[in-house]
Amino acid sequence: MDIVLENIKRYPLVVFSIIVVLICLVFNFMRGDVIATLEQQESDLYSRVRVIEKNRINANGLKAELEQLKERVSSIDERLFDPNKSALNANFFYALEEQVDVLIVRVNQVSNEDPVLGKGGPNELKQYGALTYNLVIEGAFVDLIGFMYELHVAKPLIRVADFQIIEGAQSAIPGALKANIRLLVLAQKQ
């Protein structure tokens, strides 16, 4: 004990240094992971800043584009068939007789959904529905093509899926061809 006290008296600077080192070690033990925590926090914040910056760049001009898109979508919505207005929908096809010289013999709405556009189909529609119609029309070949063109450019969105054109079928119009057409019309989602 005397030797220790003697050495303490003899080397006060050493004793002081040892105390300082011990304080530093305790300090290090208490605050050793503070840098790692702060670096992690900083890294997270920088990631967030990068995301915000990316969002800002992506949103450049987005408002104008969204306006345009909304206009187009609303113009599409105006062109949709209403599935609850069967008579009005069928009348649309009969009204085409006035534009093209064809005789519309039959318009049948098919109750089953189209397998391609329906649920589980490869082109399943999520936002809209599709109505399927079977049409039987008669007319000259040129008029049949004209009728299909009118369907293509009509206000409602229509696509001819199948057609069969047959010559020699009994018809009210002499020499006319008969066409069976299966067409799909974009409609409001039911």
Partner 1 sequence: MVNRNSKDAHPNWRPNFCDASQLPDIKVVRTNFLINFVFVTAALIFIYFALEREYRAYTLGQAITNTEQEIESAARADGGSLKLSNEFKDASLQVVDIERFFAAPLKAHELLVEFVKLCPEGLTIKHLGFLESFNKAAPAGSKVKYSMNLSGEVDDPLILGDFKSAIEASGLLEVDGLSPKIDESLQGRNTLTGIFPYRMSILLVSQDKAANNKAKGG
x/- letters, 151..170, toward partner 1 (CB under 8 A): -x----x-xxxxxxxxxx--
Q: Which is nearer to partner 1, 52 or 95 (CB)?
A: 52
107-146 residues in contact with partner 1 (CB under 8 A) are: 115-117, 121-128, 130, 141, 144-146
Q: Are 156 and 132 in contact (CB under 8 A)?
A: no
The number of beta carbons lying within 10 Å of the beta carbon of residue 160 is 15
Q: Which is nearer to partner 1, 98 or 167 (CB)?
A: 167
Candidates 20-28, 82-90, 99-107, 131-139; binding stretch for partner 1 (CB under 8 A): 20-28
DSSP 63-112: HHHHHHHHHHHHHHHHTPBPTT-HHHHHHHHHHGGGTSS-EEEEEEEESS
| Element holding 134 (H helix, E strand) | strand 129-139
Q: Are 112 and 132 in contact (CB under 8 A)?
A: yes
31-90 residues in contact with partner 1 (CB under 8 A) are: 31, 34-35, 38-39, 41-42, 45-46, 48-49, 52, 55-56, 58-59, 62-63, 65-66, 69-70, 72-73, 76
Q: Which is nearer to partner 1, 90 or 157 (CB)?
A: 157
